[in-house]
Chains A and B, each alone.
Chain A
């Protein structure tokens, strides 16, 4: 019976997502709002398809945030992160501090104790990583000033969760005015441990993650990649993220922070693109699930019973956070529309608030009545965020930009450090063919992203300083994470005909701006490439056989230059013949010839055409025998005949 419930639930969630998200996207609302709406509709207060288990689902789905931070970590190299320290600690730190102070004061003013006020302030000062990053990414804002500033603030908030969690039990003391301090003693596997031991444990775990990420992970993945089993690779990628999160949780640190750290450590890893491609769908689904459960948790009956209070609290929360963010944004040099975007995007309460509110109530810092209201306000603020951003897009941005045009350009023109990695060139396949090509291009100072699914190659090449990534380029997600949307040229050198065509078709479909150059591995494949009108192709053995042919001629006594010219002529003529044969070939296909029969026919045709070519292979302009003949005739008087 349990199983039946699972299927029913899965059915409800999936139907809701599949219907509402495309509709929301179509209407220009973005996927986040779509999920939230879906959640509201199927939730207990509208259709009632899902009930109390929604909260469990939410806890499970929060793991999507962990994955998201892991993926973001992968994009950020340590030195880039270091470069953001000012905005993380300055902007992020001030944001949280000021928001906590102001919101806390309001709470105290509304009758909460000072301890409760502080807890509420800190809790509501946090924003929603899931909503903000998902929305910014969808809008393509991650690399603009507002996106980068938002990201810095979110990183600080993730770090801050740890001390906040540690602080709340202490606040309970002042709230209940009792000496009770339930969390002072920590337990680990049933053993009492002191605070110092815990700090030591945290440091050990963090250094373990860094060391393992830098030195251990690639060997494990290399072994797994060699098995050639895709699903095991995916399983290993998931294991990596989950193990990190579990470790962090064990010592009382934020799993999201741990995943982020692991991501940063692996940002230089050769399996980076593959990891990204593997985790991405899980992250997307889990986040979607998370948004749905947030939507479902919105308590409409509470809202209906005291709409005035709830809505004014909501307005106050967003208003206070917006103002503080806006002023800080100004102070930190974010201009014009970028700043309103930044302030709106972080003005909501976050998913950590759900955890913290529950935790605060558990510790008796606030009453369950207050916690229900806070819960509702946070959920509503999250639901409102996509709408606010839409409003900003449609109404505020156009106005602000008109008045502050120059500032706008300044902030967009900043260096886009996150994609420092991206290169104009992607080489798919780095075997014997690709390696020469790659060496040539890299020798000339061009940077290329190289994708290869042979772990042996990668090992050697990376040792020589090539940027090679493990993965099968015929998968669209991998091509995407290799930066296909920004690259200019894709060179396909894989040896397998089907795979080569698959990559080309995929790239043509998804990235029409890409110039595609391909290695042709057979006559058939050449025709396939001609069909697809790739921007350039070379038959892999053609040039080298021709060159050996030239060398043969010189050993037979031909001058080098003569042999060279003969090869030039042959090459040119062969190219012409190829196009003709291609046309014939496509016509012949209807004639149901067997493959071998056609090969024989084509070879014959080829030879016949090249024999004709002999007539052209003489460089007659340099040959003066005809002129010598003419001079001799002119000299001889006609009468002497």
Chain B
């Protein structure tokens, strides 16, 4: 079966070999037809990002995924470098910059804290969606749609079984995106994309 959408998953994790959640998520979807996983710290260990090639990748896919652990309420530094270099004026944004128009972007986040710990008075002051505002705004400036993020909470205390279950959910989300089987209005109302399955 030929998927409707092509998905590029850009994985930003400096210690993927030590990660428990992120590596499993990658493994759960990397064989699906239409999915193109890219392990960014392996591709650019010296941060010398190949801008032309990265832009080609963006052009050749319908949905872009930024997958990374939440470091200091944001991403590991290579993703910042990537956005700084790849989303060029005149290509991704600006009057002439319409190359990415209409594509979709989704963040895949893993966080140590529980969901109810974010956006609470005693815990982290901001919700995950609030913290992801810079990413959402970046996507919007590039005339793309920002999908609700896939978030894995409480990673510190997850056991293997729980992680595998999360990976299954993630695989079905990706499958849905590949086949374009979600209803757009319903999808955009959700806080997390996880919620559409659960």
Q: Which A residues form the contact surface with B (CB < 8 A)?
A: 558-565, 619, 622-625, 627-628, 631-632, 635
Say if the beta carbon of B15 comes within 8 Å of chain A.
Answer: yes
Most A-side CB within 10 Å, residue of B14, B43, B45: B45
Given contacts A559-B45, A622-B14, A622-B71, 8 further A-B pairs with CB under 8 A are A560-B41, A561-B41, A564-B46, A619-B15, A623-B18, A624-B69, A628-B156, A631-B157
**Which are the 9 A-B pairs with shortest beta-carbon distances?**
A564-B45, A561-B41, A631-B156, A561-B45, A560-B45, A560-B42, A628-B156, A622-B15, A622-B14
Whether A562 pairs with B17 at a CB distance below 8 angstroms is yes
Say if the beta carbon of B16 comes within 8 Å of chain A.
Answer: yes
Contacts of A622 in B (CB 8 A): 14-15, 71, 76
Contacts of A627 in B (CB 8 A): 112, 156
CB distance from B15 to the nearest CB of A (A): 5
A63 CA / B45 CA spacing, docked (Å): 66
Contacts of A559 in B (CB 8 A): 16-17, 39, 41-42, 45
Contacts of B112 in A (CB 8 A): 624, 627-628, 631
Classify the secondary structure of A's interface with B: helix
From known contacts A619-B14, A623-B15, A625-B18, infer whether A561 and B42 are also in contact, taking CB-CB under 8 Å. yes
From known contacts A627-B112, A631-B112, infer whether A561 and B156 are also in contact, taking CB-CB under 8 Å. no
Contacts of A558 in B (CB 8 A): 17
A564 CA / B14 CA spacing, docked (Å): 11
Q: List 22 A-B contacts (CB under 8 A).
A: A559-B17, A559-B39, A559-B41, A560-B42, A560-B45, A561-B41, A561-B42, A561-B45, A563-B45, A564-B45, A564-B46, A565-B45, A619-B14, A622-B14, A622-B15, A623-B18, A624-B156, A625-B18, A631-B156, A631-B157, A632-B156, A635-B157
Find the A residue at minimum CB distance from B17: A559
Interfacial residues of chain B within 4-63, with CB under 8 A of chain A in the complex: 14-18, 39, 41-43, 45-46
A558 CA / B156 CA spacing, docked (Å): 24
A562 CA / B76 CA spacing, docked (Å): 15
Contacts of A631 in B (CB 8 A): 112, 156-157
Whether B14 pairs with A561 at a CB distance below 8 angstroms is yes
CB distance from A568 to the nearest CB of B (A): 9
Contacts of B69 in A (CB 8 A): 624
CB distance from A630 to the nearest CB of B (A): 8
Contacts of B16 in A (CB 8 A): 559
A624 CA / B39 CA spacing, docked (Å): 20
Contacts of B76 in A (CB 8 A): 622
CB distance from A571 to the nearest CB of B (A): 12
Find the B residue at minimum CB distance from A550: B45
Q: Which B residues form the contact surface with A (CB < 8 A)?
A: 14-18, 39, 41-43, 45-46, 69, 71, 76, 112, 156-157
A563 CA / B17 CA spacing, docked (Å): 12
A619 CA / B77 CA spacing, docked (Å): 14
A594 CA / B42 CA spacing, docked (Å): 46
CB distance from A543 to the nearest CB of B (A): 13
CB distance from B116 to the nearest CB of A (A): 15
Find the B residue at minimum CB distance from A635: B157
A631 CA / B155 CA spacing, docked (Å): 10
A558 CA / B43 CA spacing, docked (Å): 13
Find the B residue at minimum CB distance from A629: B156
Contacts of B41 in A (CB 8 A): 559-561
A625 CA / B76 CA spacing, docked (Å): 17
Contacts of A563 in B (CB 8 A): 45
Find the A residue at minimum CB distance from B46: A564
CB distance from B123 to the nearest CB of A (A): 13
Find the B residue at minimum CB distance from A628: B156
Find the A residue at minimum CB distance from B154: A631
Find the A residue at minimum CB distance from B40: A561
Contacts of A628 in B (CB 8 A): 112, 156-157
A400 CA / B29 CA spacing, docked (Å): 85
A561 CA / B43 CA spacing, docked (Å): 8
CB distance from B104 to the nearest CB of A (A): 28
CB distance from B170 to the nearest CB of A (A): 20
CB distance from A631 to the nearest CB of B (A): 4
Find the A residue at minimum CB distance from B41: A561
A51 CA / B188 CA spacing, docked (Å): 110
CB distance from B82 to the nearest CB of A (A): 14
Most A-side CB within 10 Å, residue of B16, B41, B69, B76: B41
Contacts of A635 in B (CB 8 A): 157
CB distance from B74 to the nearest CB of A (A): 14
A565 CA / B41 CA spacing, docked (Å): 11
Contacts of B18 in A (CB 8 A): 623, 625
A625 CA / B112 CA spacing, docked (Å): 11
CB distance from A123 to the nearest CB of B (A): 72
A565 CA / B18 CA spacing, docked (Å): 15
A625 CA / B20 CA spacing, docked (Å): 10
A624 CA / B17 CA spacing, docked (Å): 12
A628 CA / B76 CA spacing, docked (Å): 19
Contacts of A632 in B (CB 8 A): 156-157
CB distance from B7 to the nearest CB of A (A): 23
A631 CA / B159 CA spacing, docked (Å): 13
CB distance from A222 to the nearest CB of B (A): 41
A564 CA / B18 CA spacing, docked (Å): 16
Find the B residue at minimum CB distance from A562: B17
CB distance from B190 to the nearest CB of A (A): 27
CB distance from A63 to the nearest CB of B (A): 60
A560 CA / B44 CA spacing, docked (Å): 8
CB distance from B157 to the nearest CB of A (A): 6
A624 CA / B157 CA spacing, docked (Å): 12
CB distance from B71 to the nearest CB of A (A): 8
A264 CA / B77 CA spacing, docked (Å): 58
Contacts of B157 in A (CB 8 A): 628, 631-632, 635
A635 CA / B156 CA spacing, docked (Å): 11
CB distance from B16 to the nearest CB of A (A): 6
CB distance from A143 to the nearest CB of B (A): 43
Contacts of A561 in B (CB 8 A): 14, 41-42, 45
Find the A residue at minimum CB distance from B16: A559
CB distance from A267 to the nearest CB of B (A): 42
CB distance from A473 to the nearest CB of B (A): 34
Contacts of B43 in A (CB 8 A): 560
CB distance from A617 to the nearest CB of B (A): 13
A604 CA / B15 CA spacing, docked (Å): 33
A560 CA / B18 CA spacing, docked (Å): 14
Find the A residue at minimum CB distance from B69: A624
Contacts of B15 in A (CB 8 A): 562, 619, 622-623
Contacts of B45 in A (CB 8 A): 559-561, 563-565
A558 CA / B15 CA spacing, docked (Å): 10
A635 CA / B45 CA spacing, docked (Å): 36
Most B-side CB within 10 Å, residue of A564, A624, A627, A628: A624
Find the B residue at minimum CB distance from A558: B17
Find the A residue at minimum CB distance from B113: A631
CB distance from B168 to the nearest CB of A (A): 22
Find the A residue at minimum CB distance from B14: A622
Most A-side CB within 10 Å, residue of B15, B71, B76, B157: B15
